[in-house]
Structure 1
Amino acid sequence: MAEAVVSGVLQQLISIIGQETQQEVKLVFCVHKEVEKLRSNLEAIEVVLVDAEDKQVKDKNVRLWLDRLKQASYDIEDVLDEWNYAILKQNVDGTFPKKKVCFFFPSSCFSFKQVSLRIHLAIEIKEVSEKLDVIGKQKEMYGFNVITSVEKSDRVQTTSFVDVSEIYGQDDCKSILIDKLCANSEQRLPIISLTGMGGIGKTTLAQFAYNHDMVINSFDKRIWVCVSEPFDEYRIAKAIIESLGGLTKDLSELQSLYQHISTLIQINKFFLVLDDVWTEDFKKWEPLYHCLKNGAHGSKILITTRKKSVVGMMGSIDIIDVQRLSDDGCWLLFKQLTFFGRSAEECEKLEEIGKKISNKCKGLPLAVKTLGSLLRFKKHWEEWKHVLDSELWKLEKIEEDVFRPLLLSYNDLPYMIKRCFVYCVVFPKDYGIDKDDLIKLWMAQGYVKEEQEDKAMEIVGEEYFDYLASRSLFQEFRKDDENNVSGCKMHDLVHDFAQFLNKNECVHIEVDGFKKPPISSFNREKVCHVMTTICSEGLFPDSIFSLRRMHSFLYNSEDSGHSLPPNILPKLFGELTCLRALSITGKWQLNSLIKEIPKEVGKLIHLRYLNLRHLNVRKLPETLCGLYNLQTLDISHCHQLEELPQGMEKLINLRHLENGQTWSLRYIPKGIQRLSNLRTLRYFVVSDSNDENTCSLEGLKYFNLFGELHIGKLGNVSDVEEVERSPLKNQKSLFGLTLNFHKDDDGRERRNEENETLLEILQPSLNLEKLKIVSYRGWHGEQSKFEVHVSVSDMSEIAYLYVYVYVYVYGGLDHIPIFLEVPF
């Protein structure tokens, strides 16, 4: 992965040098010589990294050299980002940011503070340049060959990957498993086991059974828990309770959790899957098993494990040993992937070598899928021969057999996508990864950049996601209402492989109050990305603050039953100042304890991604507007939020203002009109105030918004004619629009004809796919008929039209029938 890091840093350096030249943001002490030296060393190192990455697999010294190079590159990255921030600040307010240093450099042109920062940056650049110089000279010891990195192949379209969910060659296992699960058993709560090596398809078989109609009809409750390592009794118990519809917020003791499970499963015939079990400690398993015995007769447990000793410990007598695929089964799956879309002539030419490659997968479905997905994009016989003859097949010291084909697939990834893949290991096993959030996190780390031909980085990120999906490195794709992929998971073995590559740069830390978090086992200088799950109220490990190199801190609210303690925020913001991504989101079922964002958030000058979703904050501090690098601000579902900072115009790099369902918002600051990069604005509220600091509907004409937009409180519009200056027809990238005619309680009642005129003016683009009209109060005819006639012209392309109208009927709100005049 060093290749990806170094290439990214080199791109960043070249970009900043260009900005400095154009904008005359000059350093001191003739540091330009150091900058050129830094660039020269990076370029000299970059051209040997392909060879170095290959040699590190067998040579420990090369591995250590690459590790030192990677750490030095991260230091360079931080210095360059500080330099970039200085340029941004000068663009915004004409001054360099403050920096406490003990130097004096007189100048007639600049203030002491400006010169101080220039000295500080110059010293830091010199230090990282010298460190890289030493590493650059060391490379001569290894005799690396200069190999030009292969740039990424043809673009992978969103619909191009094949999601292979079929199970080949396991018909006997499927039949036996379903029979065992549905048959009557005299044994009290029998445990059925699927055993076999990693990547052989145990989880896929368990999923097949879990979703089988006969199984669904045989049980009252079905529960799926990914166990993995370690066997965390608290997390497993909470997952079972939540699957049964129970709450765990007030349950802190393990015994109380088990008692709650015992109560919930009474009289219920349940089917529990414990996927990927590793523990051999009977003392951890026994209490859970005893509480599960309270279920109705016929309940069953299915476990998947790689270890036969686990089966014995759990007392399972129904054992299904999942076998490797036969050669024919391997070839059938391999052929489906690699020959997809090829001509018959092409398939015939590649069949012989394809069978030799599929045989090297040793009957492991995951290996076949990964390698087949890789070769699907290799058009020439010579490329297939290169894979067949790879030295990686000869490796002896490797953690899993399936890691060899995974390494082949990983090494074939373009350097920029390698970092994206390894970053995913920050999420725990079996975590449901949201695609849009993942892409924004990649963007925050600089892994995804704008490309030529005006291709936005979000589109590039989509291509990277699809690229990884097309190589079977993602699985279990989740889709939205429009059948577009919205999320995924990683196979547990792919997760292991990514962790093998990552070497604890990305870690998941679980804090439950009963054991110390495993931070002490990590090299704190290497940890860059952290996701934390807090399982006990009010806990937060102080050791987190020692991870000063951290670029991502993500609070896992999905798997946590507790809010992040608000008292740690000032220290978090003040000490982890290298952060690029920060998520302290709440959880929609919980009442978040965070009611204020401290002003110290302004110290996070490197921040690109800030997720405050579901918090109970009423306002955001003005210091947040000093985060000039910020690309994503997610405040969606902050139902108490009343106002945004007045200095929003300073967030010159903001691309996504995710503010959906912030219904308490009173107005949008006028300065937002200056955010030329803004692509996402979920909720625009029309203020009832004529304050010059509020943004009117006319302000929408300055944006090119993508996705969906909700315009709220249209009843507050005071001048209908003013709206004509902001036609929504120009927003051609919006596919969803909600027009909400609600008004503030003290607003005047709008005349029917004004509502009709306003609706007619707000004609959206013909590209719109969904239109929703809410609280429209205009109607024709007698009130007693309770009819609303809405005329919408030029809307023939709309696929979905939803009109939701409130009227006052006998003093209360009610629904009335709608008559639409829409020319389809």
Structure 2
Amino acid sequence: MVEVGMAFLSALLGVVFDKMASPRVVHFISKQKSTKKLLKKMEISLRSMNMVLEDAEEKEVTNPNVKMWIDELKEVAYDVEDILDEIATEALRCQLRAEFKLVAGNVRNFISSSCLNPFIHRLEPRIQEVLDRLEHLAKQKDFMGLQVGLGGKQYPERLTTSYVRESDTFGRDEDKKKVIDLLLSFDASGNEMCVIAIVGMGGIGKTTLAQLAYSDSRVKQNFNLKIWFFVSEEFVLPMVEKSIIEAATSLPCPEFKNPEEVRVILKKNLTGKKFLLVLDDVWTEKLDHREFLGQLLEYGARGSKILVTTRNKSVASAMHAIATHHLKLLPKDDCWSLFEKHAFRDGSSINADPKIKEIGTQIVEKCKGLPLAIKAIGNLLWSESNVERWTNILKSNLWNLPMEGTYILPALRLSYNFLPSNLKRCFAYCSIFPKDHIFNKDELVLLWMAEGFLQQSEIETMEEVGNHYFDALVSRSLFQQSSRETNSGFVMHDLVNDLAKSVVRQFGTDSLKKIVKMTRYVSDFDESWGTFQNIEADLLKAKQLRTFLTLKDYVLYWEIKMPRTILCLRVLSLGSMGFRIIKLPDSIGNMKYLRYLDVSFAIFNRLPDSICNLCNLQTLKLSWCSELDRLPRDMWKLINLRHLEIDPTPKLKEEMPIKMGRLNCLQTLSKFIVSKHDSASGSNIGELGKLKNLRGNLVIQKLENVRSADDALNASLKDKGNLEKLVLEWNISPKVLGISESQRGVLENLQPHENLKSLSIKR
């Protein structure tokens, strides 16, 4: 998995360079000449490392020292990103202190005099230490002979042809029939594109299915000319053109210097012919490729077809496919038949040792219906008749490791290598999920956002950007809808999970027991934690964790402490029915980078006031905190808070804290408890009117009269086009309120708010 690890490092360095150029960082250090100079040296050094990555990629396979060098460079890149995050956080805190304490005219002086110098004094030695490490890596780079631009991309040696033995395939008869029916129908005329796509994850058998259809006698009879072209990483138009001309003329294609000359030859050889062109393993979505295919179909006779195989639904859309066949995993019985064909000498297990058959059945189950995996493991076992050997393979972590020569991971490697850089880290982050873990789209987007993987644009929120990223990973078959959940549940195939883990290596893990110094992301998938002291000991192994995510329920009460290693966390998720937190310490306010905090199901009645110091906090989850009775007074200081989940919290009946209207980033606020009066202790309904970005569901509680109901309605709906469900709750009787008249008035006001799907009025 050399390349995927290298691709991840390249993506990581890209993020670092972007953060170095961010306005907040640049402005903050603009007057600090020494710091600015150190950061510039750091950038130059990192860019010099980035230039030799291709050569390092090639040499890592044979030189373990190069692999160690790459891992050390990753660690340095993470540390540089931490420094840049610290600068951005300090700039934000200084800005907030200035806004809270000084008049606007003195803000600039306040920032420079009160914040910058002490912070810079602490920061510069850390930057110098990173520079020393980079200098050491530069010396190693030169010693190992890594050079600029000498390495080349090493793609898997996979070159498909149209030939396949039908006796080698199982369970695809129905799929074959459907694809052939598509090829023999949908006769197009005029300029209509007649492209058909086979879509599915890597290794599922798209090429095999295309080969079966291509070789079928009915298809042969239907088309005058058939061309097979393997596209893979690059859609090179001249190569496709050359292949078509050679297939049409049965002669070697001469070299053409003029592209127009090629078009003339193509038109001459395709005109009047009903052709079938198979483009196997297409990745690109460029407009000129679609136009090229349309031109070919115009040359050919009516009924000509182009069959595309791809892992990405968006490729099928980009090609304007008129029909798409989504290839599913192989059924259980056919998995076994395929395994028999490859694992036993005569292609049958009839005469095999019963113990071996039993073990083989379990091995096939681990392959989870992926034909490529079944073939690879079967071929690995073909010459083995020793029960112990089969048992060792069953119990080993073979599928968790690079499987050289089997093409399982190389096939999936392309899925990662050809992801846009903005998706690489999002996908790699999912290495912390254990196999078969069901994850939620909205939840994962919030985690990505907390880790800084999503950048808001002028037209899209970070959440909307994250939704697009998620959909892109689904379209590339890296995420799949779970059969055990409806709508929102997704999983990664085991081999895709292996891919993610191989990308991050020791920097991410789904087990506390696997934490090492370099680990940045971890989830708790150990069967038993034991005592809190054991958890703390494991956490302290890491140098600077960024994510600590609980995924399982444990009956464990934790009066939480703050181990040094988790002060750097961006994500702290302790929301579990079995993981009961009885207290959050005041020191949580020192977690200045924290952007995501989930303490759902906790049994404390108060949050520490220090939580209001977390200026980076974006998501705070307090659902099912059965004893929580009030929120901290200074919540308004959490100016980056976007999602506040406080429902159900049955004992939370105190009015909202003061100045809630200042949280202008807030999108999720499950309930708002109205203050009876304009007071210094709580927020009145006017503060709700300032929260312009609210969406989803909102419950407004403790309304006292008809006037407050009208105010609540206006505050809830004004400039809130994304609000979908609204519940108004009164403390007075329906008789006093005159509920029917009020409801009629309320419903009349709903006309401009077409997204509002539900309104409830309760006593």
- Please give the TM-score of this superposition, normalised by the length of structure 2: 0.63
| Paired position in structure 1 for 2:192 | none
CA contact 1:20–1:26 (8 Å) conserved in 2: no
Matches within 5 A, 1:613-762: 613-665=600-652, 666-717=654-705, 719-720=707-708, 722-723=711-712, 726=715, 728-734=717-723, 736-743=724-731, 750=737, 752=739, 755-756=742-743, 759=746
CA contact 2:659–2:683 (8 Å) conserved in 1: yes
Structure 1 residues 612 and 90, CA gap change in structure 2 (3 angstroms): same
Verify: 1:7 aligned to 2:14, yes or no: yes
CA contact 2:618–2:642 (8 Å) conserved in 1: yes
How big is the shift at 1:500? 2.0
CA contact 2:613–2:638 (8 Å) conserved in 1: yes
How big is the shift at 1:774? 4.1
Aligned residues: 546
The higher relative CO (CA closer than 8 Å, separation ≥ 6) is in 2
| Paired position in structure 2 for 1:576 | 566
Structure 1 residues 352 and 376, CA gap change in structure 2 (3 angstroms): closer
The aligned amino acid for 2:561 is: P
Question: 1:581 and 1:92 mapped to 2: Cα distance?
Answer: 22
How big is the shift at 1:435? 1.0
Question: 1:738 and 1:351 mapped to 2: Cα distance?
Answer: 53
CA contact 2:20–2:26 (8 Å) conserved in 1: no
The SS at the match of 1:94 is helix
Matches within 5 A, 1:378-397: none
Structure 1 residues 662 and 32, CA gap change in structure 2 (3 angstroms): same
CA contact 2:615–2:640 (8 Å) conserved in 1: yes
Verify: 1:145 aligned to 2:149, yes or no: yes
Question: 2:721 and 2:67 mapped to 1: Cα distance?
Answer: 50
CA contact 2:695–2:722 (8 Å) conserved in 1: yes
| Paired position in structure 2 for 1:513 | none
Matches within 5 A, 1:335-374: 350-351=277-278, 371=311
Question: 2:413 and 2:620 mapped to 1: Cα distance?
Answer: 36
| Paired position in structure 1 for 2:356 | none
| Paired position in structure 1 for 2:516 | 523
Question: 2:716 and 2:704 mapped to 1: Cα distance?
Answer: 18
2:77 corresponds, among 67, 73, 79, to 73
CA contact 2:659–2:687 (8 Å) conserved in 1: no
Verify: 1:473 aligned to 2:478, yes or no: yes
Question: 1:689 and 1:640 mapped to 2: Cα distance?
Answer: 26
The aligned amino acid for 2:466 is: G
Matches within 5 A, 1:258-337: 327-328=208-209
The SS at the match of 1:726 is helix
How big is the shift at 1:537? 6.6
The aligned amino acid for 1:566 is: W
Structure 1 residues 397 and 710, CA gap change in structure 2 (3 angstroms): closer
| Paired position in structure 2 for 1:596 | 583
Structure 1 residues 638 and 471, CA gap change in structure 2 (3 angstroms): same
| Paired position in structure 2 for 1:566 | 558
Verify: 1:447 aligned to 2:449, yes or no: no
| Paired position in structure 1 for 2:44 | 40
The SS at the match of 1:438 is helix
The SS at the match of 1:619 is coil
Matches within 5 A, 1:41-440: 41-49=45-53, 52-53=56-57, 56=60, 60-94=64-98, 110=113, 115-136=117-138, 138-139=140-141, 141-145=145-149, 169-170=170-171, 327-328=208-209, 350-351=277-278, 371=311, 376=316, 398=404, 400-440=406-446
Deviations 1:111-163 (A, max 9, x none): 6x8633220012212222332344356545312318999xxxxxxxxxxxxxx
CA contact 1:729–1:764 (8 Å) conserved in 2: no
CA contact 1:631–1:653 (8 Å) conserved in 2: yes
| Paired position in structure 1 for 2:218 | none
Structure 1 residues 534 and 634, CA gap change in structure 2 (3 angstroms): farther
CA contact 1:548–1:576 (8 Å) conserved in 2: no
Structure 1 residues 148 and 603, CA gap change in structure 2 (3 angstroms): farther
Q: Percent identity?
A: 27
The SS at the match of 1:595 is strand
CA contact 2:581–2:603 (8 Å) conserved in 1: yes
Question: 2:658 and 2:758 mapped to 1: Cα distance?
Answer: 26
How big is the shift at 1:8? 0.9
CA contact 2:750–2:756 (8 Å) conserved in 1: no
CA contact 1:661–1:683 (8 Å) conserved in 2: no
How big is the shift at 1:374? 9.1
Question: 1:679 and 1:507 mapped to 2: Cα distance?
Answer: 31
Deviations 1:441-464 (A, max 9, x none): 11111122123x432111111111
The aligned amino acid for 1:170 is: G
Verify: 1:549 aligned to 2:549, yes or no: no
How big is the shift at 1:593? 3.2
Structure 1 residues 586 and 348, CA gap change in structure 2 (3 angstroms): farther
Structure 1 residues 108 and 553, CA gap change in structure 2 (3 angstroms): closer
Question: 2:495 and 2:25 mapped to 1: Cα distance?
Answer: 45
Question: 2:213 and 2:623 mapped to 1: Cα distance?
Answer: 46
How big is the shift at 1:757? 8.0
Structure 1 residues 469 and 644, CA gap change in structure 2 (3 angstroms): same
| Paired position in structure 1 for 2:190 | none
CA contact 1:524–1:546 (8 Å) conserved in 2: yes
Question: 1:455 and 1:699 mapped to 2: Cα distance?
Answer: 25
- Please give the TM-score of this superposition, normalised by the length of structure 1: 0.58
Question: 1:645 and 1:350 mapped to 2: Cα distance?
Answer: 66
Question: 2:489 and 2:43 mapped to 1: Cα distance?
Answer: 38
CA contact 1:13–1:80 (8 Å) conserved in 2: yes
The aligned amino acid for 2:89 is: Y
| Paired position in structure 1 for 2:597 | 610
Question: 2:136 and 2:207 mapped to 1: Cα distance?
Answer: 52
Structure 1 residues 459 and 199, CA gap change in structure 2 (3 angstroms): closer
Question: 1:109 and 1:499 mapped to 2: Cα distance?
Answer: 44
Structure 1 gaps of 5+ residues are 98-106, 150-167, 175-197, 202-323, 340-344, 356-367, 381-394, 510-516, 777-824
Question: 1:696 and 1:658 mapped to 2: Cα distance?
Answer: 20
| Paired position in structure 2 for 1:585 | 575
Structure 1 residues 398 and 376, CA gap change in structure 2 (3 angstroms): farther
Structure 1 residues 37 and 108, CA gap change in structure 2 (3 angstroms): closer
| Paired position in structure 2 for 1:313 | none
Deviations 1:224-244 (A, max 9, x none): xxxxxxxxxxxxxxxxxxxxx
| Paired position in structure 2 for 1:495 | 497
Structure 1 residues 760 and 697, CA gap change in structure 2 (3 angstroms): farther
The answer to which structure has the higher helix fraction is 2
How big is the shift at 1:594? 1.8
CA contact 2:571–2:596 (8 Å) conserved in 1: yes
The aligned amino acid for 2:544 is: R
Structure 1 residues 53 and 606, CA gap change in structure 2 (3 angstroms): farther
Which region of structure 1 is more displaced relative to structure 2, 453-462 or 403-412? 453-462
Structure 1 residues 562 and 533, CA gap change in structure 2 (3 angstroms): farther
| Paired position in structure 2 for 1:264 | none
Question: 2:402 and 2:646 mapped to 1: Cα distance?
Answer: 52
Question: 1:479 and 1:333 mapped to 2: Cα distance?
Answer: 36
